[in-house]
Chains A and B, each alone.
Chain A
Amino acid sequence: MDDAARRLLQRLVRRIPAQTLKTTLDKWGRLKAAQRQSMDFTQSKWALTEKLLAICEENELTLKHIAELEMIHVIENPDRSMWYALQLMDPEDDAHSVELTQFKEQFKSHLSELVRHVSIKIKKHTDEAVWIRIAWGDSFSRPNHLKPTYVVHHLQTPYVFVTGLTSKLKLLLTQALVLSTRHQAIKDASLSGRKLTAIRDLLMRQYQQVFPTKYPSPLAESNQNATNPLIDKEQAELSANRHQMACEAFGSGMLPQLQSAVYKLETKFRDHMNKTMTEREEPLKCVVKFASTSLLESLRHCASSGIASTPVTPLLSSIPLKGRNYFVITDNGPGPSSQTRQPQN
């Protein structure tokens, strides 16, 4: 085991919580039964690291194997870093018949052509997602395994999720992705968040959307015991209506847990009282950011309780409708328009 492998393992053991270390190692399957039993997980992280280093040395494991362990940990715990969504565009005719082995080969060969030193690992998860781990190097240095990029893609869908990607390397990655998935272009999907599952569910439409139907909603029947039945009836109707509209805009049940939405305003300042600002030529730039542990649920609650007006403004309903949480608003366009944003490390 070389120095790089040793460092990666040390950092990895530090990062994996003590209570999940055992199951993660079991999934990895690189330790022999006797070695597994000899591990005492009540020991300190430092002692465990030393023990693991010795075992890895004994089993002649290399950097490749340690990277595998990291991948297992990241796949199980994806919500630890910022994820960005990318969208593939203009599929070729054969884009829908790309299958895993072919994609693997193509992606590896394209990326190795672009970068001399690169280490790529591809693994298919149980939910049909293809996970890619890339450790980057350049023409002079070997791949840096301490700062890997992770990419998640479901074949046959236009969406790719990435984390740990610098803008310099983005071009290389996107080119390899475009070529190996048989598309012609790729763009930023203006959606990011710490929860991979949330941004995936939002784009793949894997949450419960509400549509207007012929059948009256059962929501109207709740809460009918109050003092004045007439006032109550009127109120109930209104609130049921608001609730229906809120659900049509954001969905019902558990919603994808987005943490933020950012609106970048580049609009003219309008205020009759403040002439100096209004007469300025250049637009006023400001950024509005909404943040919450679950933004969509908060917004739905605002709309259904009457804090925000219904029907829901397109500015807010665009988040689930377009699957984005970054908007640039200018004076020219009627609706929210967008601009690409560079995902940064």
Chain B
Amino acid sequence: MEAASTKGVLSHLSLLEVQARSRRSRPQQQSRVTELKAKVEALKVQKEQLEAEIQTHQNLQKLRSSLDKQCADEDDVEMEEDSENSELLRLMARHTQLKDLLHAHHLIGGYDVIKTRQGKGVCVSLATAYEGVYLDTYNLEIDLKPAVRISRHNIPPFIPVNSLAKENNMQTHMRAFLDALSQHLNAFAGRKQELKLLKEQHKSVEVMESNVLCSILVLMFTVPKEKTAVLCTLDYIDHSSCLPKRVHLECEDKQLPDSPQWKKNCSLLMETPVHTALTAMRKVGDIV
């Protein structure tokens, strides 16, 4: 009070005002505290959940390694604790094991082959994948007797199945033929997927032309500053590859395709999948 009397009424009033304001904000603080407490609770629950998940995962790992060992030893040791949970865990472990096996099978170029017509023919499944995503599966039915001959398949007509069979001498080198065919199919599936990703991720890039085989791609970029349009043709001459063998640029600004920056972009387009190359080009500001 002494301070108030020395400094005047006005300053005292403002002091009171500040006090009143802080009193009003206290309930707000109260609610903030409860909010934070709730958050702490939620986080605690999440932590417990994660810990449980880690626990399950570790159990799975343990089971998995014991399963792997079992397979190796051909030893039928029964698991302990036959509760409902352990049964589920065991199934999950088996599932991951089978999935890994399937993955390894595809990695080493294994094909799913089964006998048909009492052993006189086979049906081969060729799976295609791009960056770890499984795409379409194609099938071929091949007669083995009296002669090796493709009797039926569901491969689109623009994949040259018959000429690949001839080139690789299918009669004697079935493996080489299947490898070449699988490469063609995977490259086609990959190019198709790249085009799909490109359309999803780069709305500002216009796809002027493409074809069913996805072997020709004409794109239009816009250069940010001058707003000039660049026409870019990607030519996938090698149909067993996901990368173009030729990149051609066309622009009103005749100097642009010869500039070091765009030369670099060209080689980038030839070395990386088109949608990632475009992301990189956009980051450095060469295209909109």
Taking the nearest CB of chain A, how far is it from the CB of B189, in angstroms? 15
A157 x B116 contact (CB < 8 A):
no
Is A67 interfacial (CB 8 A cutoff)? Answer: no
Residue with the highest number of chain B CB atoms closer than 10 Å, among A155, A156, A157, A206:
A156
> What number of A-B contacts does a CB cutoff of 8 Å give?
63
Residues of A contacting B210 in the complex (Cβ-Cβ under 8 angstroms): 128
Is B271 interfacial (CB 8 A cutoff)? Answer: no
Residues of B212-253 at the interface with A, using a CB-CB cut-off of 8 Å, are 212-213, 215-216, 235, 237, 239
| Interface hit among A9-17, A40-48, A207-215, A223-231 | A207-215
Chain A, interface SS category: loop
Is A78 interfacial (CB 8 A cutoff)? Answer: no
Is A204 interfacial (CB 8 A cutoff)? Answer: yes
| Interface hit among A26-34, A94-102, A266-274, A324-332 | A94-102
Is B62 interfacial (CB 8 A cutoff)? Answer: no
Is B112 interfacial (CB 8 A cutoff)? Answer: yes
Option from A156, A158, A204, A212 in Cβ contact (under 8 Å) with B116: A212
Bound: A184/B157 CA distance, A: 17
B139 x A156 contact (CB < 8 A):
no
Residues of B contacting A124 in the complex (Cβ-Cβ under 8 angstroms): 209
Taking the nearest CB of chain B, how far is it from the CB of A225, in angstroms? 29
Range class of the B interface residue count? 20 to 34
Task: State the interface size on chain A (CB cutoff 8 A).
Answer: 22
A156 x B209 contact (CB < 8 A):
no
A155 x B211 contact (CB < 8 A):
yes
Bound: A143/B5 CA distance, A: 108
Bound: A255/B155 CA distance, A: 17
Residues of A contacting B143 in the complex (Cβ-Cβ under 8 angstroms): none
A156 x B213 contact (CB < 8 A):
yes
Residues of A contacting B112 in the complex (Cβ-Cβ under 8 angstroms): 213-214
Residues of A contacting B116 in the complex (Cβ-Cβ under 8 angstroms): 212
Is B83 interfacial (CB 8 A cutoff)? Answer: no
Bound: A96/B213 CA distance, A: 9
One digit per residue, 1 when the CB lies within 8 angstroms of any chain B CB and 0 when it does not, for chain A 155-180 equals: 11111000000000000000000000
One digit per residue, 1 when the CB lies within 8 angstroms of any chain A CB and 0 when it does not, for chain B 24-55 equals: 00000000000000000000000000000000
Q: Given A158-B157, A205-B154: A212 and B215 within 8 A (CB)?
A: no
B209 x A212 contact (CB < 8 A):
no
B216 x A97 contact (CB < 8 A):
yes
Taking the nearest CB of chain B, how far is it from the CB of A180, in angstroms? 15
Bound: A212/B142 CA distance, A: 12
Q: Given A211-B125, A212-B116: A99 and B211 within 8 A (CB)?
A: yes
B212 x A155 contact (CB < 8 A):
yes
Residues of B contacting A264 in the complex (Cβ-Cβ under 8 angstroms): none
Option from B158, B209, B235 in Cβ contact (under 8 Å) with A97: B235
Option from A154, A209, A211, A213 in Cβ contact (under 8 Å) with B212: A154
A97 x B154 contact (CB < 8 A):
no
One digit per residue, 1 when the CB lies within 8 angstroms of any chain B CB and 0 when it does not, for chain A 58-100 equals: 0000000000000000000000000000000000000011011
Bound: A212/B114 CA distance, A: 8
One digit per residue, 1 when the CB lies within 8 angstroms of any chain B CB and 0 when it does not, for chain A 281-314 equals: 0000000000000000000000000000000000
Is A321 interfacial (CB 8 A cutoff)? Answer: yes
Is A203 interfacial (CB 8 A cutoff)? Answer: yes
A157 x B215 contact (CB < 8 A):
no
Residue with the highest number of chain A CB atoms closer than 10 Å, among B216, B235, B237:
B216
Bound: A124/B218 CA distance, A: 14
A157 x B216 contact (CB < 8 A):
no
Residues of A contacting B212 in the complex (Cβ-Cβ under 8 angstroms): 128, 154-157
A159 x B209 contact (CB < 8 A):
no
Residues of B contacting A158 in the complex (Cβ-Cβ under 8 angstroms): 157
Taking the nearest CB of chain B, how far is it from the CB of A171, in angstroms? 24
B155 x A205 contact (CB < 8 A):
yes
Taking the nearest CB of chain B, how far is it from the CB of A140, in angstroms? 39
Option from A96, A209, A214 in Cβ contact (under 8 Å) with B139: A209
Is B156 interfacial (CB 8 A cutoff)? Answer: yes
Residue in chain A with minimal CB distance to B116: A212
Chain B contact residues, CB within 8 Å of chain A = 112, 114, 116, 123, 125, 139, 141, 151-158, 209-213, 215-216, 235, 237, 239
Chain A contact residues, CB within 8 Å of chain B = 96-97, 99-100, 124, 128, 154-159, 203-206, 209, 211-214, 321
In the complex, besides A157-B157, A211-B152, 12 extra interface pairs with C-beta distance below 8 angstroms are A97-B237, A99-B216, A156-B212, A158-B157, A203-B157, A209-B152, A209-B154, A211-B139, A212-B114, A212-B123, A214-B112, A214-B114
Cβ-closest 8 pairs across A and B: A211-B139, A209-B154, A156-B213, A156-B158, A157-B158, A99-B216, A212-B123, A128-B212
- Please name 7 pairs of A and B residues whose Cβ atoms are closer than 8 Å in the assembled complex, sorted by A: A97-B235, A100-B209, A128-B211, A156-B211, A209-B152, A213-B114, A214-B114
